Amino acid sequence: MFNAAPKQPRGRPSLYSGELAAEICASIERGHSLRRACQADSMPSARTVHRWLHENEDFRQQYARSRAIQTEVFIDQIVDLADAVANETEPAKVQAAKLAIDTRKWVAARMLPKKYGDRLDVQNEGNLKVKIVHGLGEPS
């Protein structure tokens, strides 16, 4: 019987390493986007990083922590941006700061919704009466 050679993995070998993952996460923690973190020639593409996130639970958890830290960095940046234009008289600079602040608020609300998301607090002090209507006819 013919013995086939062991199958070789297809495609390029993964560049994943703990050091590379830490470098990506450190860039994100500084407030950089994943796209920006992956711009250097020595870095993998964002698509590759997404594949790593899908395949590697440890990296997925490290990345999630980095995104949470990034959100906190954005919150600090909001205060700095607002302070930087507090006495500004040029409308374009104020508008640019407002856009940067609003963008960071939007991202923070989606990244950490329990902490920075819009809250809807509904309280009912009293009774609630429900009437069920079947079809288009009169209430039963």
CB 67 within 8 A of CB 74: no
Query: Beta-carbon neighbour count of residue 33 at 10 Å?
Result: 13
Within 54-139, strands assigned E span none
Task: Determine the pLDDT at residue 124.
Answer: 72
CA distances from 106 to 32, 93, 112, 119 (A): 16, 20, 10, 14
Q: What's this model's pTM, rounded to 2 decimal places?
A: 0.72
Domains and CATH numbers, the chain: 18-116 (1.10.10.60)
The helix or strand, by DSSP H or E, that contains position 8, with its residue range, turns out to be none
Q: Which DSSP string corresponds to 90-114?
A: -HHHHHHHHHHHHHHHHHHHHHSHH
| Chain mean pLDDT for the chain | 88
How many residues are recorded in the chain?
A: 140
Task: Determine the pLDDT at residue 125.
Answer: 79
Read off the pLDDT band of 3 (50, 70, 90).
low
Whether residue 1 is predicted with pLDDT greater than 90 in this model: the reply is: no
